[in-house]
Structure 1
Amino acid sequence: MAIPSLDPRLDEAVIPPTVLAGVVEIGQRQGLPVGSWCDGTGVSPAQLVASDTVKVSFRQAATILRRAVRAMPGRPLGMQVGGRDVLLTFGMLGTAMQSCATVADALDIGIELHQASGSLLDIHGEVVGTDLVMQVHERAPEPELVAFLCEEAFCSTLVLMRSVAGTDLSPNYVELAYPAPGYAREYRHFFRCPVYTDAAVNRMVFDSSVLATTFPTHNELTRSVAIDACRRLLDLDGPRPDVTVAIEALLSQNLRRPMTMADAAWQLHVSERTLRRQLADAGEQFSIVRDRVRERRATFLLLESTLTVDAIAREVGFSDAREFRRAYIRWTGYPPTHRRRGR
């Protein structure tokens, strides 16, 4: 069942699929039919794991995660995803945070840019007396996912902090606003502190003195470059409908062979009729999106490469260079040779 659009942000494709990639990889290792988890969402497992261009909406992510959690019941899936290597879990945001001067600086960056890591929760941090309180909030009610989401958020945060502040670092206590799962003993083993379930909020509490901990990996240049990359990843051009982003990513990965709407629908695990309707709802047509992707790539190659026009035609899916020239004139108003001379 799809998530009701209680908030238009739930349908905006702004989330890097880092968390989803971790879940899909675990499912693949278990030999599970991970393709079915993506049915009807407009993305494929291959895109989630290998693509550096696709982003997903909260609605898409929650649908996939719900199916994954049902397929792997009774296991600390969120802990497994959140407990991975920092760069796998946080990506470029992990590099930015590890390059900070202190834990305080890193947490400020992490909270500001947490969505760059594929986070599906909203994160808030504050100092209360002598406590540093990190609290997470659901973007939409997801009873089936709350345990997974909290485990992933808290475990990944602690892994990152331990990577720079030392493996002995542990919270004072953790509170979780859901009943204790069957594997709750693993919480105590991982966090090495009291863990209270059925609490009023989801939060992890440290002694505030940890904020002054300095990072041996501090590097201002790396920090600046990584922060800039995170901000670009969060799409300064603004969010777009998730189906548009998914189709553009799919077409970009398959430019050399002509892809029909039927091909795209099959790759994205939806019917052609459903895909056509989703594109129409987003104010798009498949042929227009395809032309946009082709024109963008062709123009890049004309300006930045030494490939011949014939070779560029093949690179963007045309077997006939004359057909490509006619298409490029239709897209831009002038022939490809004119663009090349203009560079």
Structure 2
Amino acid sequence: MSANDLPDPAELHVVNIKSGIVAGLIARADELGVACEGWFTGLRLQRAQFEADPPVYLSYRQACEIVRRALRSLPGQAHGLVIGQRQDVGHFGLLGLAMLTAEDFGEALRIGIHYAPITGAMMELQLEPCRGGDGRDCVAVSARMRTREAEIEPFLCEELFASCLMLCRGLLGPGFSPLAAELAYPAPAHAADYARVFGCAVDFDAGCNRVVIERRWLQVAMPAHNPASAAHVLALCREQMPSERPVNEIVGAVERLLLLQLADAPRLIDIAAELHLTERTLRRHLCDAGTSYKAIHDRVRREAAEALLRRPDARIAEVGAAVGFRDAREFRRAFKRWTGMAPREMRQRAN
């Protein structure tokens, strides 16, 4: 990775990574009897947030630091392979369903790579044509680190490629295996586990991270293909892609806390206390990020209200109470100010 390939440092603080990998590490820590609360110290995050709904989003910097701390505290090795092997089509949620309803495996693979961000992938994926060692026509799924992270790169590759392999076997059957795997880092002590999991030759110190697949697999039809279902699920995948509106870590922390207690209409001073900041310091941080507490609070309430109003059984007063309004009339006025329409009109359009 050259200096020109490195991202803008500000991008590493943008909150746009879903917390699936961290949730997997927490489950692994519980399994091994390891306390993991310390992984989140100083990151404006708490373990409990990873067990709540909706899912937590992290910045790349936060995610890397949590993974680094986790690997230093967990005994043994091969944690990425263990976590990755536990995935199946269902674990990939909407993306798994979108791939399942694609026309063929080639289309499913392209969908999986394009929409990988909605699963929390920390590496950048690309599909490219290549030749196998024996000259066979192949494609390669390559994975690229955003930054130089030698300590955690093996774990991220293990988790990514093992989970992708489980997904592909869920789509194509247990007989699927890649032709070869190439990894940029030196062979770890548990290198033999790679060949067992991947079912193919694994080449370390290869200069890149990629899995090579014979092109013939791309023509295999998906048995659950349904054009109408596929179009609907892809639309939902597009909605879940990381927002083009950049959210930095402090804004993300405020949003997470608001979502957990939206019905209580928390004040700026309440959120500041939970972040161990003074009200003045939090206000300054938000100003530096180009926003304010009121703007964030209003946006989070609006988005939550819109989501609730899409439900066929939504009651206006209950939606208002859920987003922190004790008076339904006050909620109707605020919603009209936010969206230009009344809550009832939004509900009718959605249903």
Provide the rounded CA distance (Å) in 2 between the counterparts of 1:147 and 1:23.
15
Instruction: Please point out which of 266, 275, 279 is paired with 1:259.
Output: 266
TM-fit CA distance, 1:210? 1.4
Give the residue type in structure 1 aligned to 2:266. M
Match of 2:276 in 1: 271
TM-fit CA distance, 1:159? 0.8
- The question of whether the paired residues in 2 share the 8 Å contact of 1:98 and 1:218 is answered with yes
Instruction: Please point out which of 6, 15, 23 is paired with 1:13.
Output: 15
TM-fit CA distance, 1:242? 3.5
Structure 1 segment 183-202 matched on structure 2, within 5 A: 183-202=190-209
- The question of whether the paired residues in 1 share the 8 Å contact of 2:268 and 2:293 is answered with yes
Q: When the two structures are aligned, how many residues end up with a matched partner? A: 330
Provide the rounded CA distance (Å) in 2 between the counterparts of 1:132 and 1:330.
53
- The question of whether the paired residues in 2 share the 8 Å contact of 1:78 and 1:152 is answered with yes
The change in CA–CA distance for 1:210 and 1:331 in structure 2 (over 3 A counts) is closer
Provide the rounded CA distance (Å) in 2 between the counterparts of 1:228 and 1:86.
22
Say yes or no: does 1:28 pair with 2:9: no
| TM-score normalised by the chain length of structure 2 | 0.80
TM-fit CA distance, 1:246? 3.3
- The question of whether the paired residues in 1 share the 8 Å contact of 2:19 and 2:55 is answered with no
Provide the rounded CA distance (Å) in 1 between the counterparts of 2:82 and 2:284.
37
Instruction: Please point out which of 212, 215, 232 is paired with 1:225.
Output: 232
Provide the rounded CA distance (Å) in 2 between the counterparts of 1:161 and 1:51.
28
Provide runs of 4+ in structure 1 moved above 6 Å.
298-304, 327-334, 340-343
Give the residue type in structure 2 aligned to 1:113. Y
Provide the rounded CA distance (Å) in 2 between the counterparts of 1:169 and 1:292.
46
Provide Cα deviations, 1:200-258, integer angstroms capped at 9, x if missing partner.
11111122211112222222222222211111111455332233233223212212335
The change in CA–CA distance for 1:182 and 1:77 in structure 2 (over 3 A counts) is same
Provide the rounded CA distance (Å) in 1 between the counterparts of 2:206 and 2:344.
66
| TM-score normalised by the chain length of structure 1 | 0.82
Q: Secondary structure at the match of 1:239?
A: coil
Provide the rounded CA distance (Å) in 1 between the counterparts of 2:247 and 2:273.
22
Instruction: Please point out which of 133, 146, 157 is paired with 1:150.
Output: 157
Provide the rounded CA distance (Å) in 1 between the counterparts of 2:307 and 2:170.
40
Give the residue type in structure 2 aligned to 1:214. A
Provide the rounded CA distance (Å) in 2 between the counterparts of 1:106 and 1:45.
34
Match of 1:178 in 2: 185
Match of 2:144 in 1: 137
Instruction: Please point out which of 214, 237, 243 is paired with 2:250.
Output: 243
Match of 1:118 in 2: 120
Deviates more, 1:254-263 or 1:290-299: 290-299
Q: Secondary structure at the match of 1:15?
A: strand
Q: Secondary structure at the match of 2:57?
A: coil
- The question of whether the paired residues in 2 share the 8 Å contact of 1:74 and 1:183 is answered with no
Match of 2:134 in 1: none
Give the residue type in structure 1 aligned to 2:238. R
Q: Larger relative CO (CA 8 A, sep 6+): 1 or 2? A: 1
Provide Cα deviations, 1:237-295, integer angstroms capped at 9, x if missing partner.
5332233233223212212335355654565xx52157555434312333543354346
Instruction: Please point out which of 126, 130, 135 is paired with 1:128.
Output: 130
Provide the rounded CA distance (Å) in 2 between the counterparts of 1:342 and 1:94.
34
- The question of whether the paired residues in 2 share the 8 Å contact of 1:261 and 1:272 is answered with no
Match of 2:221 in 1: 214
TM-fit CA distance, 1:135? 1.2
- The question of whether the paired residues in 1 share the 8 Å contact of 2:179 and 2:213 is answered with yes
Instruction: Please point out which of 154, 164, 168 is paired with 1:161.
Output: 168
RMSD: 3.3
Deviates more, 1:201-210 or 1:253-262: 253-262
Match of 2:297 in 1: 290
- The question of whether the paired residues in 2 share the 8 Å contact of 1:92 and 1:226 is answered with yes
Unaligned runs of 5+ in 1: none
Unaligned runs of 5+ in 2: 1-5, 132-136, 347-351
- The question of whether the paired residues in 1 share the 8 Å contact of 2:7 and 2:147 is answered with no
TM-fit CA distance, 1:170? 1.2
Instruction: Please point out which of 210, 223, 233 is paired with 1:203.
Output: 210
- The question of whether the paired residues in 2 share the 8 Å contact of 1:18 and 1:90 is answered with no
Instruction: Please point out which of 71, 83, 86 is paired with 2:85.
Output: 83
Match of 1:104 in 2: 106
Aligned-pair identity (%) = 32
TM-fit CA distance, 1:340? 6.4
Give the residue type in structure 2 aligned to 1:272. L
The change in CA–CA distance for 1:74 and 1:278 in structure 2 (over 3 A counts) is farther
Instruction: Please point out which of 44, 61, 68 is paired with 1:42.
Output: 44
Provide Cα deviations, 1:56-89, integer angstroms capped at 9, x if missing partner.
2211211211111111143212112222232454
Provide the rounded CA distance (Å) in 2 between the counterparts of 1:79 and 1:282.
38
Provide the rounded CA distance (Å) in 2 between the counterparts of 1:341 and 1:188.
58
TM-fit CA distance, 1:156? 1.3
